Every structure is written in structure tokens, then in C-alpha cells.
Amino acid sequence: MIKVFACIDGAAQTDAVCEYGIWAARRLGVTLEFLHVLDRHPEKAPVSDFSGNLELGAQESLLAKLSDLDEQRSKLAQEHGRQILDAASQRARQAGLANVETRQRHGSLVETALDVQPEARLYILGQHPPVEGNGRTYLDLNGEKVVRTLQRPVLITTGSFHEPKSFMIAFDGSATGRKMVQTVAGSPLLKGMACHIVMVADDTLKHQHDLGWAREMMIEAGFHVEAALQQGEADTLLRDYLTSNNIDLLVMGAYGHSRIRELIVGSTTTTLLRTSPVPALVMR
């Protein structure tokens, strides 16, 4: 795991993805690779078969023009992608990164991300705003699949870049949650930042013990920690805590064994990622 992969497409979140990629690669001391994926099946206008109404020569001429048009579209898309990658690479080098690479691939984002997973330490992709009149977003179509499929951390950006100074761990006391805490504690990515740990669960001795374990683990790793055990609706409480405490980054596990598990793997996964006021780092 030697690279941060910043997935860029030229849309609104590309600037933020670039900046978070530069930030993460610098913190981790690894190579930053900008990844641009061209859909192998772009949407095209439907073409009906009017062969019964066209002379043979006219039909062949029309098909030839359509083929030429598809080829031109493909070439333009590739060139556009290269320009996006070149601009991102130049931006990273100007920011002082020495190890910067680019890659353009045909296929789907999930397939491509899986292909490069042996090289990946972290993926970064942007949360796109919903299209007017359509409740679904780019994150619904690609981001959720990436989060569910990959075995590496995924950072979902939102808004413009803001260098994180604090983060909040959504902790549920499960084995997966404990592994997440241990991973964060041992990684240089968030070192030196203020750490908040929030557990949404009943106020029992077991849950107090679980939360105390997480707090001590992060303190031993050198973090200044504030911990809170709260009761209620997990998604609402987590968002409110992020806002009221001016947290810069949400850290959560992709799987767990509580109401947070239902939150992360259920139908509200994209709801939390889409409505979080800050970027979300999703751990496996």
C-alpha cells in the first residue's frame, strides 16, 4: 500500500479532491496518483433502424458518419481527461510533492479502483451535488459502491478544501470499530489533531468500558481526546456533534454491530455521507 489515489473527473469537487490528495500524500509520505476513469459505455442518443426507408448508399453513409462521431467523442473525452490529469499533476508538484503520477483508464470507477487496490493506501473521491430534479447523486452511483467494495480507506470530500485540525470517530464498540481505532492511532494521517470519540448507545457499564478503551488507545498514541456517550438517533446526533464542536473530519467504519452498523451498511449510508457537513473517512 504505497499510494494515495485521488479520483478526479473535472467536475465541481475536483479541486477539493486534488487538495485533499496533496494533503494526505504529504501526511502519509507516499506517492500521489491522480486517477481518471472514462466510462466505456457513455450514454448516446438512440439511433433507430430506418433501413427500410433509406437507400443502401444513404444508410451506409449515415452509419459511417455516426461511427466517425463516436470516434471523435472518444478522442475528445481522452484528451479532456489528459488535460485534467496534467493540471492536477502540475498543481501537486507546485505544492511541493515530488512523487506524483497520473493514470487514465477505460471502464467503471469501481472496477478500476479494484484493479489498483494492491497499490492503494487511501482513495479520495468527491461528493457531487444532486442534479436538479434528481435526488440521486454521483456518490449514490459510484461512491457507495466504492465504499462497499474496497478493502482500503476511502475519503469522501465535500465542499472546498479545509486542512483538518480535528476529527471525530463514530465508535460502536464492535471488533471492527476497535480495529478502526487501532488503525487511526497507528497512522500518521491524523497525528497531532484534536480527537473526539462519539459512541451512540445505551448508557451501560459495557458501553462505558468500550468507550474508555477507545479513549485510552488514542491517548496512548499521543492524541488529545474528548469522548462522549450519547443516546438517540445516530445520524442526527453525529451530525449535530460535528457541527456544534466545529469538527473538520468524520471517521467511521464501513461495518459495525449496532445502530451505527444500520447507519453505515443500510439504506441511509449515502444519506449520512451526503449530509455530513465535513468530509468522511470511511474505514474497513
Mean pLDDT per 10-residue section of the chain, whose length is 284 residues: 91 93 97 90 47 58 72 84 95 96 93 95 82 49 77 91 96 89 96 96 96 98 97 89 96 62 48 80 87
| Gap between the Cα atoms of 181 and 257, Å rounded | 15
Q: How many CA atoms lie within 13 A of 214 on its CB side?
A: 31
| Gap between the Cα atoms of 247 and 215, Å rounded | 17
| Domains of the chain (ranges, CATH numbers) | 3-41+77-157 (3.40.50.620), 166-283 (3.40.50.620)
Q: How many CA atoms lie within 13 A of 194 on its CB side?
A: 12
Question: What pLDDT is attached to residue 139?
Answer: 52
Question: What pLDDT is attached to residue 144?
Answer: 74
Contact 189, 24 (CB under 8 A): yes
Of 119, 159, 118, 125, whose CA–CA distance to 140 is shortest?
Answer: 125
pTM beyond cutoff 0.95:
no
DSSP-assigned letters across all residues of 172-212: --SHHHHHHHHHHHH-STTTTSEEEEEEES---HHHHHHHH
Q: Per-residue pLDDT tens for 45-89?
A: 444 444 455 555 666 777 777 777 777 887 888 899 999 999 999
Q: Per-residue pLDDT tens for 77-100?
A: 889 999 999 999 999 999 999 999
**CA 81, chain centre distance (Å):** 19
231 conformational bin, left if phi > 0, alpha if psi -120 to 50, beta if neither: beta
Residue in the structure block whose three cell numbers are 451506409: 60
| List of residues 6+ apart from 189 with CB closer than 8 A | 24, 27, 28, 122
